[in-house]
Amino acid sequence: MADEAEYNDQLIVSQIVSGQKDLFRLLVQQHEKAVYGMGLSFFRNSEDACDFTQDVFLKAYRSLSRFEGRSRFSTWLYKIAYNTALNEVNRRKEYHSLAEEDADKLAGGDTPEGRALRNAAKEAVRTAVEELPERFRICVDLFFFYDRSYQEIEAITGFPVNTIKSHVFRAKILLREKLEGFVEN
């Protein structure tokens, strides 16, 4: 199914480049949630994430003729999004991980005890992830929360695949150490 979606993206891109500019809305509809999610992970508020999403799609539209199809369209778009986010983060000097938002999935139901456990887990994960070096956090987010392959992360970040593997591996070790006392075996 993913290959079919990718084929459709590439077909739409070729039609847009050939003059059917109004088809760009299909690419936006297909990828808007993912780009917005990346914006939320970097900026942590919906207004900035919306601005970020708009900026990314504007940059993608302006650069569409340079998309060569050597990678998946989504990887190309994520690279634009990642670089846009990094530029803004460097300007603002902040980065927040998606792990903070997804910590809710770690524990508990909708009972007072479950909420308390979920909040404690969320805080423990947030603290542990925030203490990771930024290069580790970025690789962890893209790998675990955006489900990107090592090759896609390489295309997005410019880090070599072995470096990405090392960052993810080291981040997992650090997170395991930091969360060791929190989770009972």
The domain ranges of the chain are 1-96, 99-185
pLDDT interval class at 108 (50, 70, 90)? very low
Question: Is 0.75 surpassed by the pTM of this model?
Answer: no
Q: Under CATH, which number does the domain 99-185 receive?
A: 1.10.10.10
* The two three-digit tokens of residue 131, written as one number: 């203490």
Distance CA 180, CA 94 (A): 27
pLDDT interval class at 97 (50, 70, 90)? low
Domain 1-96 adopts which CATH fold? Rna Polymerase Sigma Factor; Chain: A (1.10.1740)
CA–CA–CA angle 88, 89, 93 (5° rounding): 130
* pLDDT tens per residue, range 13-67: 889 989 999 999 999 999 999 999 888 888 878 899 999 999 999 999 999 988 8
